[in-house]
Amino acid sequence: MKTDSLFYRLFQELPRLLFDMIDRPAADAARYRFEAVELKQTSFRIDGVALPPNERPDWPIFFIEVQFQVDLDLYARLFAEVFLYLRQQRPTHPWHAVVIYPTRTVDSGDVSHYQVLLRSAHVTHVYLDEWARPRQTLTQQVIGVLLADSRQAIIEAKTVLRQFREAKAIDRELTTTIENLVETILVYKLPTLSREEIQTMLELTDVDLKQTRFYRDVFTEGRQEGRQEGRQEEGVVLILRLLQKRCGPLAAPVMERVMRLSLVQIETLSEAILDFRGMADLEQWLAMQTRE
């Protein structure tokens, strides 16, 4: 017999047993309702986990949480995720949580249950508006594009890209990565502009994106996995992520149509996605596949 089933029956039939165990007045037991509550497994998702090399057990694992809206449950969720990870993975490294906010005003400050952790050396808060001033480093400049209002974001984006292009010792791979990041930021910040209009403002082309190591590696890996395992699930997962970044949240019917695509169609879509401006382009592409 499973011990949890046994104790469930005991506590149900003899409620005072629990109170005797924890040295509380037995008379209070009658005012409690004992139930077996089923908790559905929450799909925990940490924004980022930076894993150190195995040969440096003294280096911490970094758990990164980015929060741009007030969330009273943030710290409860964060520490649940961290300790669930530690329980499941059992790493030898220490841990460190990094919580990133755009400003201090977004930090809920409702930390009554977690003050010991939040005041410890295990947690660091980053407030981007304070951290990114003055705009001295490359990363500060990129974050500056993200934090700026629409008009200023264009100015800051042009400044970042101009500095890279004018640099004497230019790293083409890094430059293309920065171009891709800046373009992506502006696509999100300027939804009324087409991607082509943004690229024109920044003097970017799709050729630049296709030359990045990210583009080459991601699609090569996806295709290889699909062929090796004889399934297209891996490709579907990858393409859904990219579509949501390019076109925004996908409705259930659209996701179902994508999930029914063959591996060849997924590969074709992975090329076509660079030309999509939004959801209408995706729906038109799917309609063409249906007709074909």
Residue-wise burial string across 111-130, b where 16 or more C-beta atoms lie within 10 A, e elsewhere: beebeeebeeebbeeebbee
Per-residue model confidence as pLDDT tens digits over 130-161: 988 888 778 888 888 888 888 888 888 888 88
Higher pLDDT, 287 or 196: 287
Q: Which residues share a beta bridge with 124?
A: 98
Q: What tokens does 69 get?
A: 């809206």
- Strands (DSSP E) contained in 33-191 are 48-50, 61-66, 95-101, 123-127
Q: At what angle do helices 213-229 and 263-272 cross, to 10 degrees?
A: 170
Average pLDDT over residues 178-201: 76
Q: What tokens does 139 get?
A: 């990363």
pLDDT for 169 equals: 53
- The single-letter code of the amino acid at 54 is N
Q: Are 269 and 261 in contact (CB under 8 A)?
A: yes
Q: What tokens does 20 get?
A: 């005797």
Cα of 211 vs its chain's centroid, Å: 24
Strands 123-127 and 95-101: parallel
Q: Name the residue with tokens 């409705």.
A: 251
Residue-wise burial string across 269-292, b where 16 or more C-beta atoms lie within 10 A, e elsewhere: bbeebeebeebebbeebbeeeeee
Q: Could you give the CA distance from residue 265 to residue 289 in angstroms, rounded to a whole number?
A: 8
Res 276 pLDDT > 90: no
Instruction: Give whole-number Cα distances, 54 to 58, 80, 94, in Å.
Output: 9, 24, 12
Average pLDDT over residues 76-80: 89
Q: Could you give the CA distance from residue 36 to residue 101 in angstroms, rounded to a whole number?
A: 38
Average pLDDT over residues 170-174: 66
Per-residue model confidence as pLDDT tens digits over 26-71: 777 777 766 654 434 555 667 678 888 888 888 898 888 888 888 8
Q: Name the residue with tokens 């003050």.
A: 115
Per-residue model confidence as pLDDT tens digits over 3-13: 444 455 556 55
pLDDT for 75 equals: 92
| pLDDT range class, residue 175, cuts 50, 70, 90 | confident
